[in-house]
Chains A and B, each alone.
Chain A
Amino acid sequence: MNCEYELYKPSWCPGCGNYMIRDALKKALEDLDIEPSKVVLVSGIGQAAKMPHYIGLNGFNGLHGRALPPAIGIKMSNKDLTVIVESGDGDTYGEGGNHFIHTIRRNVDIAHFVHNNQIYGLTKGQASPTTALGQKTTLQFDGVKLNPINPLALSLTMGAGFVARGFSGDVKHLSNLMKEAILYKGYAHIDILQPCVVWNKVNTFKWYKDRVYKLNEDYDYTDFEAAYKKALEFGDRIPIGILYKVEKETYDQKFSFIEKGKPLVKAELNPINAQNLLEEFY
């Protein structure tokens, strides 16, 4: 099986970064030689979240802001599946902010790719949680009055073991990041910078292109303080690459029957097995 198919023409605008992110994902899965039937792509709502419709993988296109909880349920029920979450900045950092925080706490073995175009695309140009302070939008006529979220600083603070930033304009680099994230045992967060060609006239392709730079090869991604500094660097220069990566015990490893046994979905069910539980009620 191949994860490429052309049945559905994406409803993304020409020039949208989502195309490049899809190319990077396809390449990553092909390079890793993972059967599409062993992958579940989970998403919420938004332009980015339509990804399960435009790629040949198992898909769970759920509710706005709610991509992470089903991904956790899926991974814990079938540890053999590769579970990838793709959603936008509004979905992940706004509507789904609480799930984002607590998913990091769990450290479930999933890869989370956030398409961050710093604007709401599908609902036509309102501010997202990552839109810059003061930026005028189709709703914030006087400019945004809320401070933006710093997604990477947040996930680092919450204890994520894999924190990275990618850029849709560099598919090869992004694809390699995705491979690392998928292979990583635990929750892996990639914030992917992506221009919105229609609604964000500030953070354009050129804007990102002029600012992003790749982290040096001698950058030590196990150094938390260095990672935190890099996470705060978002202005004239924006680093891309793996900011932080360390080993951490994953959520499923904390359940011995999952760690040692077969996936829960393959468990044989027999009501009689529970009969002994009646004893305490006599």
Chain B
Amino acid sequence: MDYSILIGGAAGQGIETVVELLEKIIKRSGFNIFTYKDYMSMVRGGHNFMQIRFSENEIFTYNNEIDLLFAMTAETITIHKDKVKTDGIIICDENFEDNDVIKLPFDKLVKELGDNRAIGTIGVGFIVKYFGIEYDIAVNTIKTVLKDKNVELNLAAFKAGYEIGESKFKLESLEDNKILINGNQALALGAIAAGVKFYCGYPMTPSTSVMSYISKHANEMNIVVDQVEDEVAALNMALGASYAGVRAMTGSSGGGFALMVEALSLAGIMEIPIVLFNAQRPGPATGLSTRSEQADLRFVIHAGHGEFPKMVIALRNPEDAFYQTARAFNLADKYQIPVILLTDEYLADYEMTVKPFDFSRITIERYITNESEIEDERYKRYKYTDSGISPRLIPGIAKEKLVLVDSHEHNEYGNIDESIETRVNMMKKRMKKLELLKEEIKEPEYIGTENPEVLLVGFGSTYGAIKESILRLNSQDDKFGALIFGDIYPFPIEKLNSYAKKAKKIIVIEQNYLSQLKSLIDEYTDIKVDKSILKYDGRAINSDDIILEINKFLSNDTI
């Protein structure tokens, strides 16, 4: 089984509550879920939709075919009816003037219940009945999810919807042992697990939910959350906190990240550990505020004036967001560098069921030196060492040593020094860390047959779509493999080189216009990429899209 429900309507109609209820009901019935969210940059009106896909098997992305379309506006039907399967259904209010739809007395029932907001829950009742989901699980879920918010009204609405519906399927419940989470929540949880004590940022879609999640738990976890005046302040402030010794973080989306670039360079020369993220949305400038793209790859790799070591990690899915974020803090502390997490609106917002995160796998490694280990009478914050990493003291915690950090080129003490010798030595000291990072980076994840004829290459949030494509393609013809990059700068090339040698065709898949991942492959390897599948319409690519493109390419270009 593999079903998709699409709920569409205007902003302000309560789609989110319908989706939250349905997701939890389906999840607690033991099924895997993937919810795709498509929303416009407006508070009221417009057209928003969410698509809940569920299956007894693992699923990694959304798909293009719908089993049930719940239309809360007439426009929803016009926009989405072509996606409805031939045996699928459309439900809407009986006053809508459409054919081939199931008209239900939503308005009439709502009037009887005495509250307009109940429309969505009536729909939930109908949908639960239609798929034959266990009634008791649904009722208990409504009680627990809504807590004291109009439980009685919603239960009545649910029952009314349940009674007017008919069962087409009968789903046997399975064991529910997963969590349902989105990428931003997972990223925020990873930061909290890693001990972040200072988070600051400026609201910008789609990055904001990281800050609001941390803020919600700030008091119980003792975290300062500061909504700053601008993103310029954000990174400078986080760097102050990190200098003072706490784990600090900031993040934004493209435009806000652009404002942080000056301070990113400051982190580079001051050698202050910092973790920041860019939840990409399509640019340039304001672009498409609530939509997704992977066009900031080159931007974040090169962000910052001057040359300094940094690391960029593209997050691939919610699990990756959790574990990689926690790891990023250790890497930042170990090398005293900025670590940038690259995510996007798609990963930020989609929700999926995953194995509960294992907090015992998270380690906290600070690499902060004890004052007693410092032999120099005057502490050298930038002491030359073989590794290029200088022992780090925290101001105020060290009682007899002063900690001076500086944005100018500086000597070992952190004092301004313009001499040729110091400049050359300090550049070498800092850039040595980039060499060490090359040993630290993780190779991309490989999925597929061991000797692939066709190798797909992607990074970050396209992970799920590519993985599902490989599973589907190989079930027909077992000749496909895929490498999906997480750590992407410095660029890991070992696995890429070895699988590229085996493959006859290499196809890069990414969500930008210029094929930026391909340009990295061109820069760092001799591999010839045969085809780039590119999508830059602001909507996430899924396995249906990928398979269509691959088949088109391979049929024109026989292996």
Report A's interface with B, CB cutoff 8 A.
1, 7-8, 35-38, 40, 42, 45, 50, 52-53, 56-63, 66, 68-74, 76-78, 80-81, 98-99, 101-102, 106, 255-258, 261, 264-267, 269-275, 277-278, 281-282
Across the interface, A267 reaches (CB within 8 A) one of B197, B397, B413, namely B197
Across the interface, B240 reaches (CB within 8 A) one of A59, A69, A275, namely A69
Q: B179 touching A282 by the CB < 8 A rule?
A: yes
Q: B197 touching A77 by the CB < 8 A rule?
A: yes
Return chain A residues, CB-CB under 8 Å to B240. 42, 60, 69-74, 77
Q: B415 touching A8 by the CB < 8 A rule?
A: yes
19 contacts between A and B (CB under 8 A): A38-B396, A50-B416, A53-B404, A58-B404, A61-B408, A62-B239, A69-B233, A69-B234, A73-B240, A73-B243, A73-B248, A77-B197, A77-B224, A77-B246, A255-B224, A265-B396, A269-B195, A271-B359, A281-B185
The reply to whether the CB of B501 lies closer than 8 angstroms to some CB of chain A is no
Across the interface, A58 reaches (CB within 8 A) one of B179, B396, B408, B416, namely B396
Q: B193 touching A63 by the CB < 8 A rule?
A: no
Return chain A residues, CB-CB under 8 Å to B270. 62
Question: Across chains A and B, which 7 residue pairs bring their CB atoms closest together, nearest first?
Answer: A73-B240, A70-B240, A269-B195, A73-B241, A69-B236, A77-B244, A281-B179
Q: A77 touching B198 by the CB < 8 A rule?
A: yes
Report B's interface with A, CB cutoff 8 A.
176, 179-181, 185, 189, 192-195, 197-198, 200, 217, 219, 221-222, 224, 226, 228-230, 232-234, 236-248, 262-263, 266, 270, 326, 356-357, 359-360, 362-364, 394-408, 413-416
Q: B400 touching A264 by the CB < 8 A rule?
A: no
Q: A interface, by DSSP: helix, strand, loop or mixed?
A: helix
Q: Given the complex of chains A and B, what is the CA–CA distance between A282 and B194 in angstroms?
A: 22
Name the residue on A nearest B326 (C-beta).
A271
Q: How many A-B contacts at CB < 8 Å in the complex? A: 198
Return chain A residues, CB-CB under 8 Å to B415. 7-8, 53
Expressed in whole angstroms, the minimum distance between the Cβ of B382 and any Cβ of chain A is 13
Return chain A residues, CB-CB under 8 Å to B407. 45, 61-63
Expressed in whole angstroms, the minimum distance between the Cβ of B297 and any Cβ of chain A is 26
Expressed in whole angstroms, the minimum distance between the Cβ of A190 and any Cβ of chain B is 21
Return chain A residues, CB-CB under 8 Å to B230. 98
Contacts A271-B194, A271-B359 known; A69 to B262 CB distance under 8 Å? no
Name the residue on A nearest B28 (C-beta).
A282
Give the one of B197, B233, B415 with max A CB within 10 A: B233
Return chain A residues, CB-CB under 8 Å to B357. 278
Q: A37 touching B360 by the CB < 8 A rule?
A: no
Contacts A37-B402, A102-B228, A275-B359 known; A72 to B237 CB distance under 8 Å? yes
Expressed in whole angstroms, the minimum distance between the Cβ of B242 and any Cβ of chain A is 7
Contacts A70-B237, A73-B238 known; A265 to B246 CB distance under 8 Å? yes
Q: A265 touching B394 by the CB < 8 A rule?
A: yes
Q: B263 touching A66 by the CB < 8 A rule?
A: yes
Q: Given the complex of chains A and B, what is the CA–CA distance between A69 and B364 in angstroms?
A: 26
Q: A37 touching B179 by the CB < 8 A rule?
A: no
Expressed in whole angstroms, the minimum distance between the Cβ of A55 and any Cβ of chain B is 10
Contacts A66-B236, A258-B224, A267-B222 known; A77 to B359 CB distance under 8 Å? no
Across the interface, A281 reaches (CB within 8 A) one of B181, B219, B247, namely B181
Q: B244 touching A53 by the CB < 8 A rule?
A: no
Return chain A residues, CB-CB under 8 Å to B234. 69
